[in-house]
Each structure stands twice: as structure tokens, then as C-alpha cells.
Structure 1
Amino acid sequence: MKRIRQLGSYTMALGLIILLSAPLGFAQAGARQRFVQRDQSEQSATQNSSQTGDQPAQQEDQQEALFGPVHPLMVERVGIDPNQVLRLSLHDAILMALENNNDIQVERTNVQIADYNLKSFRGAYDFFVEPFIQYRSDTRPAPSRLQQGVGGIPLSSTETLDYNISVTQQLPWWGTTWRFSINNTRTLTNNAFAAVNPFYNAAVSIDVTQPLLRNFRIDQTRSQIRIQKKAINLSDSLFRQRVIDIITQVQRAYWDLVFAIRAVEIRQEALELAKTNLENNRKKVEAGTVAPIDLAQSEAQVEQERQNLITAIGNVTAMENALKALIIGDPNAPEWRANIVPTESIGHLAPVLDYESAIRLALANRPELEQLKLRKEQKEIEIKYLKNQTLPQIDLVASYTSNGLKGSEVILDPDLVPPGFAGETPAGLIGGPGDALRQAFTNDFRTVSFGLRMNFPVRNQTARANLGRARAERRSLDFQENKLIQLISTEVRNALQNVETARQNIEAARAARIARERQLEGEQKKFEAGLSTTFFVLQFQNFLSQARLAELQALVNYNKAIADLQRVMSTTLSAHNVEIAPPTGGK
């Protein structure tokens, strides 16, 4: 089998880029490269070739077929249409997962929910318009002659119609709240001494409340908005983490499917070989050169290989369903009946990477650390708010009101009122409701007030306890960070070790497979010369099938180990050219 050797001298950083951004045994960004194993040294390769000699061209072709792209599995399986072939590269599988995976959709929706929550908190700064209309009729006994009705009726009757409107807003700075109001009242009374009836009261006012200590630098609304901005970034980080996890799962499921299909091919070849041996033994039994018991052994071997093939086909369906569950979102999609054919070749490229470089990448990129940082920032905002709540509440309150009064003139009957009450109504009081409102805007009749409103909790235990709890939670996050860094360091160590172990397993599995091929070849020659039995030939056939499966599994494990290494270093997105737009509301 041809070996591709990496040429040139690479620095550690360049080697790291190759590992993380170049495809490892699969197509990436439109460019396909195939990497196969190279022996650890030219000397060991020379020694192996001198000991074993050149492998036959047929054997090399078999290895090329073993590790090259798989062929469609054209057998009947539950829920699968063998003729509905779906050829799928790893890159295409990842794109399908990004578009369809339900877990990714859930996290994407969570980002949108966090953005809507931020808009909801910002709604506290909206203008609130409050129209108010009310009619009231009041009739009661009049204890005073001045309150009696016309003609000395001993009761007071008043009809009032209020039609007001006000606008209120809390400003996003300094905790200021203002209110602008326009109040209008129409009053109709039976009072005999009313100079105008009905009369119209109008008032235009503005009220301002300004905190001076508590809620000045930060209040509940501002703290919620700042915390929610961090929550949007936190949701985005969780979304990125979920995308990384799903891409890693897709890679593992893809290579598991490749292995499962290859295992079927190996089992099919083993079954055909067992059938060939059975036919040869039948001929030899008929010729009297082999004992009939050897024929029974060959028949048993055929049935055993048939069982192995059936099991392998069932495993393909399980692995295929696992991959479909990751890349297909709709449970009724027609792709569930598709016969998936992976188009990638199995191979590996030994990474140029050391622990220090890997841990630096992990600490810089892991979304868990970013999430913990955002939670600490959220907690700092909460602490700032709760510390402010321990201060006394001292608010500056100010109000300015301009009034107006108009009405319809009433001519008092001198015979019905005491002397001195009869006379003309002042012209400034005569008018309608519009006149009263215009008079209010002239600022001729003003009311101004300002003062301090104070609230001093005696012990303020609730606020102090809340502040203490928040500070304790903040310290807990520091310990969680140390624990997380330790966990990441352990994961990086284990991932690097798994990559190295998988690479060494490839070397060992390949050597074992070559040895099993030589053993089977030699045993067949001995059998043909009458120096061996069918039992040993079948045994070495089984050994070779197991060795080929072991080598294939070693290569698959290596690709899965690389995927896990990318995950623990959080370089999966850049390795697969996946970019996620930053959130719009978290700034």
C-alpha cells in the first residue's frame, strides 16, 4: 500500500494548525485529501520488507479496498430501501446536522428566548400613557346654609365628570421617574352661591422623582438588563458548545458506520472463502484424500460465518440509525429510508502536538470557561445592585402644576341670596373647558413643591443577607473555575493519550494483520501439500478476519480520538470551517 509522507520542516504551531484545520481522513472545504499511515521510521519499514518481502499486488488491492470508500450495502434491512442510495461525505453530514439536529435547534431557540427576555426588561423604559374618564354624582344633606341649593333646599348635589390623561416614564439613567399630566374636571352643582355653573377645572402638571442614594447608580431594572445581556452571551456560548458536541457525535457516528459497512464486507469475504473451502473439501472427500470429518468442520465454519454476517448487517442498521438521528430532524423525513453510503476513506495523520500547546488552546477556547466567566460577571452585577440596596432611600420629589378655571355665568337672584352675594361674575371666570385648559398653559396660577422622601430601615437585615449570599456565591464560582481548569487539563491529557494510543494500535494491528496473512498463506500451502488439516486452515482464516477488523477498528478509533481531541480543545468549529454569528443583543 502506498504511503504518503509529509514533506518539509514544520514548526510546532504549523503542525498544530495542520491537525486542527486540515481534514483527518475526510473531505473538508471542498478539498479532499487522503492520509494513510506511515511507519515510525524508514529503518523499521526496511526491516519489515527484508523479512517479509514485497506483498503481492492482489494483497495491496485488497487493502486498498479495505480502507478506501465503501460500497452500497445492497441487502434488505428493516426500514431501509437499498435502492434509495444517499452518498454522504463527513462534511455533508455535519452540514445536515447543523441545519436539522433538534438539540441544536433547541439551543438556537434558547438564544432567541434570551434576546426576547432582554427586550422585555427594556420595556420598563417605555412610555406609559394613562387616559382616565370618570363620572360621579354626589347628593348629601347640607349642614350649612352656604352649601344649600337654590331656594334654600337643605341638600347639596354635585355632578362631576373627570377626563384626564398622563404620560409616565422611567429613565434609563440615575433611576429618574417623571410624570406629565393633563387633568380636566367638569362640575355641575346646585349651590346657590356658585358664581359659575357648570365650571371647568384644568391642571397641567409634571412630577419628578429622583433617587439620591438607593437606586441612583443602579436599580432593579438596570441590573436585570445588564444581567440579561450576559445571559444572551451565555446562551450563545451554550449554543456553541452544543454545536461542538453534535459535530463530534456526528464524526464518531460517521466512522462507526464506515466500520460497520466494512465489517460486513469482511464478513462477506470470510463467508465466500469458507464456502470455497467447503467446495474444495467436498471434492477431496469424493477423491478420498480428506476425511469426511473435515467436511463437517467446513460446513460448521460456513454457518458460523453466515451468523457473523447477519450480525454485522444488523449492526450497520443500528449505526446508520444513530447517524440519521443526528443529521435528520423530522422523524417522518424520507431520508430515514435512505441507504447511506459514506464516501470518505479511512486514514490517519499523526499529529504534531504537545501538551502545553493543547492546554493553551483548550483554556483559550473552551466554552465552559467562557460560560463561567459570564456567570461571574452576572454575579458581580448582582452584588453591585444588592450593595446599593443596603443604602438608605432618599428621594428628591418635585412637582409643578399650572391651574385654570372657567365656567358658565350664573346670575344670582338678590331675593334668594344674602346681601352682598349678588352681582356680576368676573369676566376672567367665564368660559368653556377649552378656555380653562388654555389658562392652565399660561402659568398664571402655579403650584410648586419639592422635598425629600426618606426611608431608613433600622437593621436592614434582608438587604445585608442578600448581599452576603451573593458574595458567597461569587466565591463559589472561583472554586468552580479552578475545578473546571483542572478537569479541562485532565481531559486534554487523556485525549492526547488516546490519540497516541490509537496511533500505536494502528501500528500493532497492521503488523498483526500482515503476520496473519503470511500465516494463512503458509497454512494453505501446507494443506495443499497434505501437511495440514482443514481445522487449522479455517482457524487461520478466522484469525485473518479478526486481524483485518482489528486494523479497521484501530483506524476508526484514531479518527474518533482526533474528533475528541478537537472537542476538548474546542477547535471543532474552526477545523470544519463552521462560523457562528455573534448575538445581536448581548453587547
Structure 2
Amino acid sequence: MRLTVLSVLLACSVTTAAAQIDTNRPVRRLSLAECIQMALQNNVDLEIRRYDPQIAEYELRAAYGVYDPAFSFSGQHSRDEAGSRLLGGGFSIPGSITEADRFSLGLGPGLTPWGMTYDLQGSVADSYGRSFSVDTNGFLVPLPFENSSGSAQISLTQPLLRNFWIDGPRLAIRVAKNRLQYSELALKLQVMQTITRLEQAYYDLIFARQSVEVQRMAVELAEQLVEENRKRVEVGALAPLDAKQAESQAATSRADLIAALSQLAVQENVVKQLITSNYAEWANMGLEPTGTLTAPRREFDLQESWRKGLTLRPEILQAKLDVERAGIQLKYDRNQVWPQVDLFATYGYNGSGAEFSGSLYEIERRDRPFYSFGGRVSIPLSNVSARNAVESSKATLQQAVLNVKRWERDIMRAIDDDVKQAQASYERVAATRAAREYAEEALAAEQKKLEQGKSTTFLVLQMQRDLTAARAQEIQALDAYNKALSQLSLDEGTTLERLGIDFRVE
């Protein structure tokens, strides 16, 4: 009696759980292509990673800002009053008053992409005022004055050794370009990994739903046997103790169904997490995949898969960019070992006159040129810092090269594992399908023997368990095969190409 009550309670709980999952909440039917499209639009991890190329692009543009010259302009007025002078006999002369206006403008200092610095400067000044003197008759005579001067010039400095082939700004720009490509590959990798996780989660969702159906069929078989045994007990064709075995199996099957329904709900949440940024909107919605688990035959070419992986995988391309960045740094550090040898020159025109206009006119006529040129050499005596920087960069470069080799090894090993896994899964699909068919035939035969009194309930129950296990193993093999193909595509770097997704960073 206690076992019967337990069976009734389990049946009620299974019915309630199934009703909550299948009928009390809306169900959204989704194909794999629709899920991928939603993930590309809504996946939060992708949204975060999409900012990386933008940030790298802004940093590259900022690095070019070093070539932007600065325009400057200034104006100044000054006034100076000198004290009076005392002459013999107690006679004093008032002090002079001088006022000056000065204006200057400049463009620079600026830098060119080949390391030359330039500075354009122009200035003009006008001084005016009055002073006093005493003429021969002893009278005080005011002496007003005004004069103006100005110049325009350009100064150039060109390094010949250090900072000629590469300097700090060019290093920053080349590294920023390198990191921009790196960030684009990181985004591509994130897209590929997200799609692969989604594909595998989608296949697992199909597996979870089919597992629920397998367990439901197991419950139906067990309950059918319980009903048939009950009738046999009533007519005296079966001992009551033998009937309890079937009831126990039915209770176990119901418990397995509850577990399968729970796993289905968990797997739905995995898919939801990948396709939406608003989880609350999807929390109470069921997902029904429209796809099925199939086993298309595929011919595997390990050498071709290796070639694809070694040329397309974003990780190895990123590792090669790290080698390139290390090479750029080494080139810069080697250049910094050279002495500082610079040529410099200045050329311009002077102008002067009674007023501003006179000075500007002479400058415009270019009648009074001036120039200077020369060179400077600076040689560090030991140069310890620069030489050790070179050695450090060499070691970093070698480390980056070894990292590429490590990726080559890991990629080839992963692809080899994927191919073996896919081949084994495909063969397992055929084997489990045959096992399921044999289990169906064996159960049908054993049930007929039971009806004829030539078998036992224990054997039929065993056959039912074997059939349920065979069905579960078949869909598990199909799930594993499809996931193996998805993983192989990721490790080859062909996920986007296989799905026809055009990846561009704009």
C-alpha cells in the first residue's frame, strides 16, 4: 500500500511539473539561425567586446595628434617713466616716457613624420615716447621719438641617427595600428566563441527536450505494464509480488522524468543567456527548438583542417601581431643606441621703420635676410639604459615567437582531437541507433512472451530499462556529433565562413 501511495504522489508531481513547463507559460519556437541572429544583436559579451576596436581607433587617432602644430599669438603693451635729472644750478629736466607695443605669433614647434622639428615665428615691436633736453639757449626742448622693428623666421632641426628611422611618436602610431588589428581579431574571436557556445547549447536543448520525450515514453511503458499486471493479478495469472516490481519501475521512471524536465529548464536558461540582454523578459518563456539532431556524413581532411587553423584562427593571428609589436619595439630601441646627431638651421628676414607698417613692409620686401646653421652631437658614454633596453626587446621578441609556436602546437592538437572525436561520435550514432532498434524488437518480443506466460515481469522491466537507455544513448551520440562538428569549425577558424556570416568592423 505504501508503494502504491508513493506511485500516485510521483505521478501527480510529474503531471504538475509537465503542466508548468509545457502549458502554463508561453513557448517561443526558434531555429538555430534565429538564435544566432539574436545573439549577434543582443549578446552582452559581444556588446562589451565591440567597444574595443572603437577604443583602439580613438587611441590611434590620438597618436597622430603629435603632428598637430600649435598656433600661438600674443600681444603686450608696456610703459616706462624715467625720473627727472638734476642739472647744475638747481635746474632739473623731466624724465623720459617710453611706451612699447609688441605682437608675436608662431606655428610650432611641430614635428614631421620623418623626425624633423620646425618652428615658425614672427614678431613686431613699436616703441614710442618722449624725452627732454636743453638747447644752447638753456631752454627745455621736448624730443618725441618712435621706432619699430620686426622679424619672421623658420627654424628646422633634423636628426640624422637617433630618431631618424623611428622615434617615440612613430613607435606609438605603429603600436596603435598593431593593437587596432589585435582588437578586431579579439572581437572576431568573441563572435566565433559566442556562436559556438550557442550552437552547442542549442544542440543540448534539443537533446534535453528529446530526453524528456524518452523519459515520458519510459513512463508510458512502465504504466502500461503496471496496468497489464494489475489485470493479470485480478485473474490470478500473476503473483501480487511480481506486480510490485512494475510499480517500482514506474515510480523510478517518473522520477527520471522530473529530472529530465528540470534539466530542460536549465538548458533553456543557458540559451536565453546567450541570445538576450534582457533576461527578465524571457525568464518565464519556454524555448522550443525547431531544428533536429541529424548526423550528416562528413569527410575529414586533417592536413586541410590544420592549414585552416594555422591561417585563420584569431588566436594565432593575434600571437603574430604580438611578434610584430615586439619587432617594432626592438627597432626603436636599437635606434636609441645611436648617438644624437642633429642638423639645425634658421632662416628669416628682419624689418625696421618708424612705425609698424614700415617694419612689416621691409619684412615683406625680404631685403634684410638672416640665417644660421650648424650641427650638434651628443654621445652617451656608457649608454647602459639603451643597450639593456635592446636586450630586453630581443628577449621579448623571442618569447613572442615561441608563443606563436605554442599556438601552432595547441591548434594542431585541438583539431586532431576534434577530428577523432567527430569520427568516433559519427560511428557511435550508427551503433546506438542499431542498439535502440534491437532494444525495441527485444522488448516487443519479451512482452509477447509475457502475454503467453513464457516470461517474467522482471525480464520485461529489464528490457524497458534497456530500451530507455538505448534511446538516451542515441540522442546523446547525435548531440555529441553535432557539437564535435561545431567545435572543429571553431578550432579551424571557419565558424563564420561555415554559417555565411560576413564579419566587418566599421
* Pairwise same-fold verdict (TM > 0.5): yes
Q: Cα RMSD between the aligned structures?
A: 2.8
Say which of 185, 207, 213 aligns to 2:155.
207
Q: Distance in 2 between matches of 1:284 and 1:500?
A: 48
Instruction: Specify the SS of the correspondent of 2:93.
Output: coil
> Which segment drifts farther, 186-195 or 226-235?
186-195
Letter in 2 for 1:116: Y
Say which of 318, 333, 351 aligns to 2:298.
351
Say which of 266, 273, 284 aligns to 2:232.
284
Q: Distance in 1 between matches of 2:129 and 2:378?
A: 42
Is 2:364 aligned against 1:441? yes
> Which segment drifts farther, 278-287 or 159-168?
159-168
Letter in 1 for 2:255: Q
Alpha carbons 1:176, 1:209 under 8 Å: kept: yes
Q: Distance in 1 between matches of 2:469 and 2:82?
A: 107
Say which of 225, 247, 250 aligns to 1:302.
250
Letter in 1 for 2:105: I
Q: 1:297-321 CA distances to partner (integer Å, 9 max, x unpaired)?
A: 3332222222111111111111111
Instruction: After TM superposition, give the deviation of residue 383 of structure 1 in Å.
Output: 1.5
Instruction: After TM superposition, give the deviation of residue 188 of structure 1 in Å.
Output: 5.4
Instruction: After TM superposition, give the deviation of residue 447 of structure 1 in Å.
Output: 2.8
Alpha carbons 1:81, 1:338 under 8 Å: kept: no
Letter in 2 for 1:176: M
Is 2:269 aligned against 1:329? no
Structure 1 unaligned runs (5+)?
1-72, 407-428
Structure 2 unaligned runs (5+)?
1-16, 134-141
The residue number in structure 2 matching 1:574 is 497
Letter in 1 for 2:359: A
Is 2:406 aligned against 1:500? no
Change (3 A) 1:283 1:127: same
Alpha carbons 1:81, 1:339 under 8 Å: kept: no
Instruction: After TM superposition, give the deviation of residue 391 of structure 1 in Å.
Output: 1.1
Q: Distance in 2 between matches of 1:312 and 1:509?
A: 20
Say which of 318, 336, 341 aligns to 2:266.
318
Letter in 2 for 1:364: T
Q: Distance in 2 between matches of 1:141 and 1:491?
A: 93
Say which of 436, 454, 458 aligns to 1:535.
458
The residue number in structure 2 matching 1:561 is 484
Matches within 5 A, 1:42-53: none
Instruction: Specify the SS of the correspondent of 2:52.
Output: helix
Change (3 A) 1:85 1:197: farther
The residue number in structure 2 matching 1:115 is 57
Q: Distance in 2 between matches of 1:552 and 1:144?
A: 118
Instruction: After TM superposition, give the deviation of residue 454 of structure 1 in Å.
Output: 2.7
Matches within 5 A, 1:241-260: 241-260=189-208
Letter in 2 for 1:359: W
Instruction: After TM superposition, give the deviation of residue 122 of structure 1 in Å.
Output: 0.9
Is 2:168 aligned against 1:220? yes
Matches within 5 A, 1:24-423: 75-77=19-21, 83-135=25-77, 151=93, 153=95, 160-168=100-108, 170-187=110-127, 197=145, 199-332=147-280, 334-406=281-353
Alpha carbons 1:167, 1:181 under 8 Å: kept: yes
Letter in 2 for 1:129: F
Q: Distance in 2 between matches of 1:453 and 1:141?
A: 47
Alpha carbons 1:172, 1:222 under 8 Å: kept: no
Q: Distance in 1 between matches of 2:45 and 2:123?
A: 56
Change (3 A) 1:125 1:264: same
Letter in 2 for 1:112: Q
- Give the structure-1-normalised TM-score: 0.75
Q: 1:439-479 CA distances to partner (integer Å, 9 max, x unpaired)?
A: 33332333322221332211111111111111111111222
Instruction: After TM superposition, give the deviation of residue 196 of structure 1 in Å.
Output: 6.0
Q: Distance in 1 between matches of 2:80 and 2:455?
A: 123
Say which of 468, 493, 497 aligns to 1:545.
468
Matches within 5 A, 1:7-26: none
The residue number in structure 2 matching 1:459 is 382
Q: Distance in 1 between matches of 2:236 and 2:263?
A: 42
- Give the structure-2-normalised TM-score: 0.87
Matches within 5 A, 1:418-429: 429=354
Alpha carbons 2:84, 2:94 under 8 Å: kept: no
Q: Distance in 1 between matches of 2:86 and 2:352?
A: 25
Q: Greater relative contact order: 1 or 2 (C-alpha under 8 angstroms, separation 6 or more)? A: 1
Q: 1:216-242 CA distances to partner (integer Å, 9 max, x unpaired)?
A: 121111122122212211111222222
Instruction: Specify the SS of the correspondent of 2:20.
Output: coil
Letter in 2 for 1:471: K
Letter in 2 for 1:185: A
Instruction: After TM superposition, give the deviation of residue 98 of structure 1 in Å.
Output: 1.8
Instruction: After TM superposition, give the deviation of residue 580 of structure 1 in Å.
Output: 1.2
Is 2:438 aligned against 1:515? yes
Q: Distance in 1 between matches of 2:262 and 2:106?
A: 74
Letter in 1 for 2:56: A
The residue number in structure 1 matching 2:8 is none
Q: 1:410-439 CA distances to partner (integer Å, 9 max, x unpaired)?
A: xxxxxxxxxxxxxxxxxxx2x3x3443333
Percent of pairs with identical residues: 33
Q: Distance in 1 between matches of 2:23 and 2:376?
A: 79
Change (3 A) 1:397 1:265: same
> Which segment drifts farther, 243-252 or 293-302?
293-302
Q: 1:272-306 CA distances to partner (integer Å, 9 max, x unpaired)?
A: 22222222222222222222223333332222222
